[in-house]
């Protein structure tokens, strides 16, 4: 259905067999990888009890989210490793390797003994696995954006790139649905004993499929052209920092309004809905699934608008709408019933989905082909560190202030910074990729 909407909304001009294959491969491979990565967030309440037990439930949750954040600290290193591979040896090779590095640690989480079995070694092993997952995603997502957009018709780069964001949300949604299904199907005792492991085993099978898809994809034509002309950088990391520091800063600033709101909604809100709004675990997961669906809805139309009218005005308009909607959405959630919480989160998710859609095209257009993979990966992943710490910061903020709505100020701050960066940005949507 997504692909049908894509072609109907303007992507038909790139609808030859090769480009269709790229879009499908990019969506599925990227979505499968995000499923693996997202499971930790969906199981945060389980991990807080089984790996970080404490008499203070809030403190256990903070430790769980800090471990989640550790995976983000390792992502810039993954950006260096896979960025170099992607810029020197090809996008396809880097993306295939990253899929393997994601699938194996995900399966290992499902095998981990808990704190009750091996004591402090359990959270340490969990932390090490998060580091490996962070290395993988550090090079995977930005590479996926580059890979897909570089195949696109120049007039449809935003709508083509939006499929990477669609697949990101799909991966999180799939993780939420699988987690919800297992949590609902099993008695709570069985779920806490062994049922929580099942989604991680599913992740290994998904990783095998993702590896096959990426291994059978075609290399980016823009990259091949740069390679044949001898235009690739010998030192992409060094060149990114020395020749393009302003572009790195812009990429960081543009992505700030992605990473902080996204990890607030996709990860933290599950625990927030249960711990602070009183929803049962299964209801909190269902609300999360509804929010992910709402995030889907505006992506293709907004991406189409960004292809027609430019990235900058569309993104700035979306930020303004979000800043207006944050306060009433949080006030709605404070009512505490299922549909009030769901509607509040769905409103914010819908607006965020509109911002997500043009971002891949903006980041790809920001950097030249010779260092694009590395430049995107570094700027995106340094920014993503803030997103990784957002759940733990949000929980600590509520714990410190006693105000359950205080986390909305994180969203306000991120929006203001991204808006300022976009104000100073010169749109490149009509230019050929350099």
pLDDT in tens, the chain (434 residues): 444 444 444 444 444 556 666 666 666 667 766 776 677 777 888 899 999 998 888 888 888 888 888 888 888 888 888 888 888 887 777 777 777 777 788 888 889 999 999 999 999 999 999 888 888 877 777 777 888 888 888 888 999 899 889 888 888 888 878 888 888 888 888 999 999 999 888 878 777 776 776 666 677 777 777 777 777 778 888 898 999 999 999 999 999 999 999 989 988 998 899 889 999 878 888 898 899 899 989 999 999 999 999 999 999 999 999 999 999 999 999 999 999 999 999 999 999 999 999 999 999 999 998 898 888 889 988 988 888 889 889 988 998 899 999 999 999 999 999 999 999 999 998 888 87
**Tokens 């269902």 appear where?**
286
Phi, psi of 180 (to 5 degrees): -65, -45
> In sequence order, what are the residues at sequence separation of 6 or more whose Cβ sits closer than 8 angstroms to the Cβ of residue 430?
none
Q: Does residue 390 contact residue 268 with C-beta atoms inside 8 Å?
A: yes
- The helix, strand and coil proportions of the chain, stated in percent and rounded to the nearest 5, come to 85, 0, 15
- The helix/strand/coil state of 410 is helix
Radius of gyration of the chain (CA): 20
Could you say which of 1.20.1250.20, 1.25.40.10, 1.10.730.10, 2.70.210.12 is the CATH number of the domain covering 18-423? 1.20.1250.20
**Tokens 């699934």 appear where?**
289
Domain ranges of the chain: 18-423
């Amino acid at each position: 259905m997504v692909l049908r909407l894509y072609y109907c909304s303007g992507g038909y001009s790139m609808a030859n067999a090769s480009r269709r294959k790229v879009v499908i491969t990019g969506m599925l491979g990227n979505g499968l990888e995000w499923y693996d990565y997202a499971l930790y967030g969906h199981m945060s309440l389980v991990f807080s009890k089984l790996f970080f037990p404490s008499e203070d439930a809030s403190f256990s949750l903070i430790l769980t989210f800090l471990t989640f954040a550790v995976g983000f600290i390792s992502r810039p290193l993954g950006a260096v490793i896979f960025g170099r591979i992607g810029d020197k040896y090809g996008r396809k090779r880097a993306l295939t390797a990253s899929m393997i590095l994601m699938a194996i640690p995900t399966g290992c989480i499902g095998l981990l003994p808990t704190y009750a079995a091996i004591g402090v070694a359990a959270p340490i092993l969990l932390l090490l696995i998060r580091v490996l997952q962070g290395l993988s995603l550090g090079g995977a997502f930005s590479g996926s954006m580059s890979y897909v957009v570089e195949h696109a018709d120049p007039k449809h780069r935003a709508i083509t790139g939006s499929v990477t964001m669609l697949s990101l949300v799909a991966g999180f949604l799939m993780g939420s649905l699988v987690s919800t299904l297992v949590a609902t199907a099993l008695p709570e005792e069985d779920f806490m004993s062994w049922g929580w492991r099942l989604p991680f085993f599913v992740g290994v099978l998904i990783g095998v499929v993702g590896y096959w898809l990426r291994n059978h994809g075609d290399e980016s034509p823009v990259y091949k052209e740069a390679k044949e002309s001898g235009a690739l950088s010998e030192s992409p990391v060094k060149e990114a920092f020395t020749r393009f520091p302003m572009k790195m800063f812009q990429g960081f600033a543009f992505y700030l309004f992605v990473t902080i709101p996204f990890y607030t909604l996709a990860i933290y809100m599950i625990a927030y809905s249960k711990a602070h709004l009183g929803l049962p675990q299964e209801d909190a997961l269902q609300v999360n699934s509804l929010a992910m669906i709402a995030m889907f809805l505006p992506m293709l139309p907004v991406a189409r608008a960004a292809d027609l009218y430019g990235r900058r005005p569309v993104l700035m308009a979306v930020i303004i709408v979000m800043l207006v909607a944050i306060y009433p959405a949080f006030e709605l959630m404070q009512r505490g019933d299922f549909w009030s919480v769901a509607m509040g989160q769905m409103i914010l998710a819908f607006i965020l989905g509109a911002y997500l859609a043009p971002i891949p095209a903006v980041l790809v257009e920001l950097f030249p082909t010779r260092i694009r993979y590395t430049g995107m990966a570094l700027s995106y992943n340094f920014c993503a560190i803030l997103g990784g710490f957002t759940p733990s910061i949000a929980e600590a903020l509520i714990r410190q202030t006693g105000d359950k709505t205080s986390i909305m100020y994180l969203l306000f701050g991120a929006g203001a910074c991204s808006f300022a960066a976009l104000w100073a940005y010169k749109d490149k949507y009509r230019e050929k990729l350099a």
